[in-house]
Amino acid sequence: MAGDEGLNLGLLLFIPYRAMEGRVFAGLAEAGFDDFTPAQARVFQRIAPEGSRITELAEQAQITKQSAGFLVDQLERAGYVERVADPSDARARLVRVASRGAAATPVAAAIVAEVEAEWAEHLGRQRIAQLRQHLTRLRELTDPYR
């Protein structure tokens, strides 16, 4: 498109991400998960299968521990997560995905797959594979939690 050559790479990466995010949240709302926010998702998507501590979630989401705790409180009240005892430390608690979160996850995943299929149709399978390969390699520089 005309004028796109002046956009920096960060913005060119962000625009499609936001488009996908908007589709995911619209689809979640349509499926009855209309009480889930992007800020909550930033924490939710970082929960390890066995559970995560608030401090880990805060660090990975690059937010304060207080903000992570606030978002987890909201997610817990809505039934997306639960707090459980940490089997490795009786004083600590883990945040785990709860039943409502487990139900929302495949809805979001299906929408992501749909968007990726549309992008592959638009760019072609080879270009999408190359894009994925290049972005995966870029994570070596940009993602300390890869």
Question: Are 57 and 67 a contacting pair, CB within 8 Å?
Answer: no
Whole-model pTM: value is 0.85
Q: Write down the mean pLDDT value for the chain.
A: 94
Q: At what angle do helices 9-30 and 99-123 cross, to 10 degrees?
A: 130
The H-or-E segment that residue 89 falls in is strand 89-97
Domains of the chain: 7-33+99-146 (no CATH), 37-97 (1.10.10.10)
Least trusted range by pLDDT, from 37-46, 66-75, 84-93, 102-111: 84-93
CA atoms within 13 A on the CB side of 73: 6
Question: What is the arithmetic mean of pLDDT over 2-12?
Answer: 81
Q: At what angle do helices 125-142 and 99-123 cross, to 10 degrees?
A: 120
